[in-house]
Each structure stands twice: as structure tokens, then as C-alpha cells.
Structure 1
Amino acid sequence: MQFGFSTNAFREYHLEDAIEAIADAGYDGVELLFDEPHLYPPTATDEERERVEKALDWNGITVSNGNAFMLTAIEDFHHPSYIEPDQAYRRERIEYTLAALDTAADLGLPYISIEPGGPIPDDRSREWAMDTFVDGLESVIPKAERVGVDLLVEPEPDLLIETADEFLELIERVDSDRVKCNFDAGHFYCVGENPIDLIDPLWESTRHYHLEDIPADRSHEHTQLGDGAMEIDAFLTELENRGYEGFVTVELYPYEETPIETAREAMYYLEERGWA
């Protein structure tokens, strides 16, 4: 398998500098943050994309994933979501995703990761939220199919889709092979599931994995590899045993003050155990 590191830890850096630092740390790939201050699809220019491509080529590194989850350019990580009660506000997330698909296609990426609906509004039912999310997906699927880019729904604690079963329920309702899973091991651990046990049932749906450690109390805190309670070696062993050859991207966005050191320390953890 190959390892990447996400630039969402490098929001205090220019994207080209983040790419260089991640390559210097020894990673095979870099996850591009499709949000400000990096590459924001609704306003990204051809010149910006060309600079990214040159930085990738110059540093000899490829893209592990296009992260179209966070949306701080408009509000925050989770808003606007696909299930906002206000239709116009909800449409901003849809338009952003359509733009992200175009950017991914321009860069030759096979997929982007997206949020799993969003936080369920206090005055709305889960049934309404699921129906609304499915409607939202169905409004972007035609573009995904046209440009050949998969939409990787990423289950996350406290959002509409949290568990493996909820994800599987979702794809039963969506008639497109372009909707797949961005398997974040830490997220599943946070909601009381064992990520190792989920590799098999989600195998056919998963195109990309996120990895971080999580504290023993299962709080949703992305923690440096080895500093939490997850069975990281056992998880990677299961992927290796299944012959996984794609990307596992380390996602440690809370470490904005020390992203270079954090990326290097995570790589050291992987190298010390023979994974990289």
C-alpha cells in the first residue's frame, strides 16, 4: 500500500510549500485540501492548477485524494451541508461539489471525499435528512459520471452517516457505482466500531482510507499515530493481507502549529514498523 499525508494540517502554509514538505517527509502521496487557503474549486484558476501540477512533478509525489469535505471558505468544516433546511444554503454545498468534481477531473484524480450529509438539524427527522442527502447526491452524480470521478462519502461522528451500516444503507438507495466510501478508521473507532472488522464488509465500496490515532475514550480527536488507543498495526496488517495497493492518507488536521514535524513523526512511526 501507499501512504499520503493531508494538507489540511498545513492551512498556515502555501499549498506548494505543503506539497514540498510532505514529499520531503517521505510520503508517496499528498491529499489536496479543496478549500481555502489551498485549492478552492469554485474560484480555482487554470494558473493555480498548473502550479499545483508543477509542484507535484517537481517533488516527485502524486495525489492520494481530493478532500472536498471541509468548507471553511463559506462557513466551517460541516456547513453548508447537504442537509441544510434552507434550500439556497444547501445549494451552496451542491455547487461546491460540482466544482470540486471539475477540479479533480482537471487534475486527473479518480475520486474526491465528501461529507456524509452533515449534522441533522434539530427540527428535522433522520428520515428527512436521509431523503435530502440522497437528493443532493443525485444532483451531483450525473457530473461525477460524466467526468469519471468517484464521490467518496466519509462517515463521521455526529453527522448523518456515522457507522458502516448507515453507509451501506445509503448506497442501497443510490443507483450509481460512482458513490463509494472514504474509510476513515478513526471515525469508525470513535462511534464504537472496530475498523479492522469493517474492512471486509466495506471492501468493495472503499477506494481510499484515512488514518489517525484516537484517544482511549474514543473522543473525536485526531491524534498522532501511536499516541492513541487504536490498533494501527493490526489494521494495516489486514489491509496488507487483503492485497490493498491504494492510498492510506494520514489526516492530522489539528496539528496546524507543527505540521512539518507532525508529518515527519507519523512517517517515522510507519517506517519504524516496516509499513513505509
Structure 2
Amino acid sequence: MKFGFSANAFREYDAGEAIEIVADAGYNGIELLFDEPHLYPPDASEDDIEEIRQALDANDLAIGNCNAFMLTAIEGFHHPSYIEPDTDYRQKRIDYTKAALRTAAELDHDYISIEPGGPIPEEKSREWAVETFVESLEAVLPIAEEVGVDLHVEPEPDLLIETSEEFLEFAERIDHPRIRCNFDAGHLFSVGENPVAAFDRLAEYVDHVHLEDIPENRRHEHTQLGDGALPIGEFLSALDSRGYDGFVTVELYPYEETAAETAREAMAYLEDGGWV
């Protein structure tokens, strides 16, 4: 397997600086942030995209993932979502995702990660939310097909799809080959799942993995590797034994103030464990 680090911890740096730091820390790849202040697809020019290409080439760094989950350029991590009751507001997320697919294609990357619907509105049922998420993605999928880029839905605590079973139900409901899973081990651990068992359940849908530690009480709080209770060694051993050869991206966005140091410390943890 290959290891990357997510640029969403580097919001106090520009994208080029983040790429250089992640490469210097010893990672194979970087998860690009498709949001301000890095590469925001609706506003990204050809020159912006070329600058990213050149920075990646200069630092011999691959793209591990294109993160199209966070959307602080409009409001925040989760809003606008794919299941906003306000259709105009929901359309902003749909249009953003179309732009993200096109930008990933221009960077010759095969997938983007997206939020799993969003928070279910208080006045709406789960059934309404699932149906609305399906309708939103059906508006996006023609672009995914056109440019050849997959949509990796990422289960997350407190959003529409939290668990591996909920992802499988959704995948069966939408039934489209471009719908895949962005497997976040910490998220699934936070909702009470065993990450190894969850990976085995979802493996046929997984091309990219997020990794962070999680506190002992399983609160959804991205924590430096080795500082929490997630069985990281057991999980990585399982990936290795199953022949997983994709990217494992360390995602520690709460560490913005110490992003460079945090990336280096996470790599040191992986090196000490014999994973790199």
C-alpha cells in the first residue's frame, strides 16, 4: 500500500507549499483539497491546475485523492449538502461536484471523495433524505461518466450514511458503477464498528482509505496516529494481508496550527511500525 497525507490540514499554506512539505515528510502522495484556499474547482483556471501539476511533478508526489467533501468556500464542511430542503441551495453542492469531477479529470485522477448526503434535516425523514441524495447524485453521474471519474461516498458519524451497512444499502439503491466508497477507518470506528470487519464488508467498493486515530471514547475527533484507541497496526496488517495496494491517506485536519510537524510525526509513527 501507499501512504499519503491530506492537504486539508494545510489550510494556512498554499497548495504548492503543502505539496512540498508532504513530499519532504516522506509520503508517496497527497490528498488535494478541492476547496479554498487551495484548488476550488468552480473558480480553478487552467493555470491554477497547471501549477498543481508542476508542483506534484517537481516533488515526485502522486495524487492520493481529490477531497471534494469540504465546502468552506460556500459555508462549511457539510453545507450546502446533497439533501438540503432548499433546492437552490442543494444545487450549489451539485454544481460544485460537477466542477470537481471535471477538475479531477484534468489532473488525470480517477476519483473524488464526497460527503454521504449530509446531515438529515430535522423536519425530514430518513427516507426523504436517501431519495434526495440519490436524485442529487443522479444529476451528477452523467458528468462522472463523461469524464471517467468515480464518486467515493465517505460514511461519517452524524450524517446520512454513517455505517458500512448503510453504505451497502445506498450502493444497492443507486446501483451505479461510478459510486464507490471512501473508507475512513476512524469514522467507522467512531460509530462502533471494527475497522477490519468493515473493510472486509466494503472491500469491493474501496479504492482509497482515510486513516486517523480516534479517542478511547470513540468520539469523532481526528487524532494523531498512536494517540488514540483505533487498532491501527491490526488494521494496516489486515490491509496488507488482503493485498490492498491503494492509498492510505492520513487525515488530520484539526491540526492546522502544526500541520507540517503533524505530518512528520504521523510518518514517524508509520516508519516505527514498519509500514514504510
User: Is 1:263–2:234 an aligned residue pair?
Assistant: no
> 1:85-124 deviations in whole A, cap 9, x for unaligned?
0000000000000000000000000100000000000000
| Equivalence for 1:58 | 58
Report 1:185-200 matches (<5 A).
Answer: 185-200=185-200
Q: CA deviation at 1:145?
A: 1.0
| Equivalence for 1:141 | 141
Misfit runs of 4+, over 6 Å: none
| Equivalence for 1:237 | 237
Query: How many angstroms apart in 2 are the aligned matches of 1:183 and 1:175?
Result: 18
Query: How many angstroms apart in 2 are the aligned matches of 1:254 and 1:198?
Result: 25
| Equivalence for 1:172 | 172
Q: CA deviation at 1:175?
A: 2.7
Letter in 1 for 2:8: N
User: Of Structure 1 and Structure 2, which has the larger fraction of its residues in helix?
Assistant: 2
Query: How many angstroms apart in 1 are the aligned matches of 2:45 and 2:262?
Result: 30
Letter in 2 for 1:204: E
| Equivalence for 1:247 | 247
Letter in 1 for 2:140: V
Query: How many angstroms apart in 2 are the aligned matches of 1:65 and 1:244?
Result: 16
Moved more, 167-176 or 5-14: 167-176
Query: How many angstroms apart in 2 are the aligned matches of 1:207 and 1:140?
Result: 20
Query: How many angstroms apart in 2 are the aligned matches of 1:157 and 1:175?
Result: 23
Letter in 2 for 1:130: V
> 1:131-154 deviations in whole A, cap 9, x for unaligned?
000001111111111111000000
Query: How many angstroms apart in 1 are the aligned matches of 2:223 and 2:179?
Result: 28
Letter in 2 for 1:99: A
- Cα RMSD over matched residues? 0.4
Query: How many angstroms apart in 1 are the aligned matches of 2:215 and 2:156?
Result: 16
User: Is 1:32–2:32 an aligned residue pair?
Assistant: yes
Query: How many angstroms apart in 2 are the aligned matches of 1:39 and 1:62?
Result: 16
Report 1:80-229 matches (<5 A).
Answer: 80-229=80-229
Letter in 1 for 2:257: E
Question: TM-score, normalization: structure 2?
Answer: 0.99
Letter in 2 for 1:7: A
Q: Secondary structure at the match of 1:69?
A: coil
> 1:15-37 deviations in whole A, cap 9, x for unaligned?
00000000000000000000000
Q: CA deviation at 1:198?
A: 1.1
Q: Secondary structure at the match of 1:182?
A: strand
Query: How many angstroms apart in 1 are the aligned matches of 2:115 and 2:199?
Result: 20
Structure 1 residues without counterparts, runs of 5 or longer: none
Query: How many angstroms apart in 2 are the aligned matches of 1:115 and 1:230?
Result: 22
Q: CA deviation at 1:199?
A: 1.4
Q: Secondary structure at the match of 2:42?
A: coil
| Equivalence for 1:46 | 46
> 1:212-238 deviations in whole A, cap 9, x for unaligned?
000000111000000000100000000
Query: How many angstroms apart in 2 are the aligned matches of 1:176 and 1:165?
Result: 17
Question: TM-score, normalization: structure 1?
Answer: 0.99
